[in-house]
Amino acid sequence: MNEMRFALIGCGEIGGLRAEALQKSPGLKLVRACDVDAARGKALAAQHGVPYESDWHAALGDDVDAVLVSTPPPLHTPMCLEAFRLGKHVLCEKPLARSPEEGRQIVEAARAAKRHLATGFNYRFYPAIAAAKSVLDSGRIGELDHIRSYAGHPGGTEFTHAWVHDVKVMGGGALVDNGIHILDLTRYFLGEVVEVKGFRTGHVWSFEGCEDNAFALLRNSRGNIAQLQASWSEWRGYRFRIEVYGTRGCVRASYPPMYADAVWSEKPGGPMRRERFFFPALQIKERLKSYRFTVVQSFIEEFAGFLRAAQGQATPAASGHDGLRAVEIAHAVYQSSADGGTVLFPA
Ligand SMILES: NC(=O)c1ccc[n+]([C@@H]2O[C@H](COP(=O)([O-])OP(=O)(O)OC[C@H]3O[C@@H](n4cnc5c(N)ncnc54)[C@H](O)[C@@H]3O)[C@@H](O)[C@H]2O)c1
């Protein structure tokens, strides 16, 4: 295969940024733009010099190797299943599915088709997160002990689409919206989650079936704990933070602004050293071009990972399994909140 040729389904807010990133990604090429909203789809197709298609089935022609699913979640399952039936690779936006059952169907279809399924967890490629991960992996802060993580935005239809607050569309609230990214990042640092306990509350916005805050305790098989919150009542605006504590120090990454720092000692009780990670070039470009600059950069790196993964190589990019696990953990938090119990996953 010379270039991996993509059809984009869904030319909305994220689809537009995905198209821009695809065109800047070596080895990848956008060949079709599809949206039921003709004005939107045609405008994006014209911007990138590719044909427009209104019917997503017709967008999956023989000239397409991979599909980018960037529609609201109820369409993720039928679109992914059809793409795999036709032998395409798929990058599907988060949340992978509205429920664990739908997610399992998608993952199983990818496995049966022997095609690559990726989930759009692009925060893994935010430079502060990459810096924090390399600090943990270097062993500088010792062995992993525990994690605190948080993601929030103000919620409500002034901040985001009305459909994001519809349980029939999303399968839940803050935890499967912005929270699904921090769930993935937490699991990225923690390793596989075997036990979940959680609470959800909905007194702020009162969107039926959608929590505006979710609180979770996650445990991995080695006994390390993560404490996580996802919120739709972060009145100061969009932000997330992850703090990873080890036996000899800690590393913390946050956005916005993009920043990470690490403190550690060579031995317990020894003098503390500190390293700060600033990203001034990114901050200047973000100031000029908005947060979209950062998102597009992360998509470009994610696409490079997608290409490597489809060729069977290792990459930090999130797989379909990662997307499914995030949905399963979110729904375990819902179950725990409803019945007061603890949800166990086989190690
Ligand atoms: N990775 C991220 O950081 C991130 C951030 C926000 C949203 N998302 C996810 O990206 C996806 C898209 O979100 P968005 O904010 O771009 O939404 P959006 O509403 O702006 O765009 C969705 C597009 O899908 C189109 N669409 C709907 N039904 C269709 C159909 N049957 N065939 C073809 N097109 C159809 C709509 O017309 C619309 O243009 C969602 O899954 C969302 O959860 C990801």
Domain boundaries, the chain: 4-122, 124-344
Which residue has the least CA distance to atom 37 on ligand 1? 37
How many residues would you count in the chain?
347
73 within ligand 1 shell (Cβ under 6 A): yes
pLDDT digits (tens, 9 = 90+) for 247-260: 999 999 999 999 99
- Quote the CA–CA distance of 63 and 288 in Å, as a whole number: 37
Ligand 1 atom with the shortest distance to the CA of 11: 39
pLDDT (tens digit per residue) in 40-50: 999 999 999 99
Burial bucket for residue 168 (CB in 10 Å: 0-12, 13-18, 19+) = exposed
Confidence grade of residue 1 (pLDDT, cut at 50, 70, 90): low
Pick from 8, 32, 71, 90 the residue to mutate for probing ligand 1's pocket: most ligand atoms within 8 Å of its CB.
Answer: 71
Residue nearest atom 30 of ligand 1, based on CA coordinates: 36
Q: Output the pLDDT for position 269.
A: 83
pLDDT in tens, 184-240: 999 999 999 999 999 999 999 999 999 999 999 999 999 999 999 999 999 999 999
Q: Distance from the CA of 320 to the center of ligand 1, in angstroms?
A: 18
Of all protein residues, the one whose alpha carbon is nearest to atom 40 of ligand 1 is 72
Torsion-angle region of residue 239: left (phi > 0), alpha (psi -120 to 50) or beta? beta
| One-character DSSP codes across 116-164 | -EEE--GGGGSHHHHHHHHHHHHTTT-SEEEEEEEEE---STTTS-GGG
Assess whether the C-beta atom of 323 lies below 6 angstroms from ligand 1.
no
**Ligand 1 close to Cβ of residue 9 (< 6 A):** yes
Confidence of residue 268 (pLDDT cuts 50, 70, 90): confident
Query: CB of 77 closer than 6 A to ligand 1?
Result: no
pLDDT digits (tens, 9 = 90+) for 146-196: 999 999 999 988 888 999 999 999 999 999 999 999 999 999 999 999 999
Q: Which tokens go with 241?
A: 């933070």
- The pLDDT tens digits of the residues spanning 324-345 come to 999 999 999 999 999 999 999 9
Residue 324 Cα to ligand 1 middle (Å): 19
- How far is it, in rounded angstroms, from Cα 248 to Cα 216? 25
From 2.60.40.790, 3.60.20.30, 3.40.980.10, 3.40.50.720, which CATH number describes the 4-122 domain? Answer: 3.40.50.720
Please, what CATH class does the domain formed by 124-344 belong to? alpha beta
| 154 cis-preceded (ω within 30 degrees of 0) | no
Q: Cα(128)–Cα(111) distance, rounded to whole angstroms?
A: 32
**CA 338 to centroid of ligand 1, rounded, Å:** 30
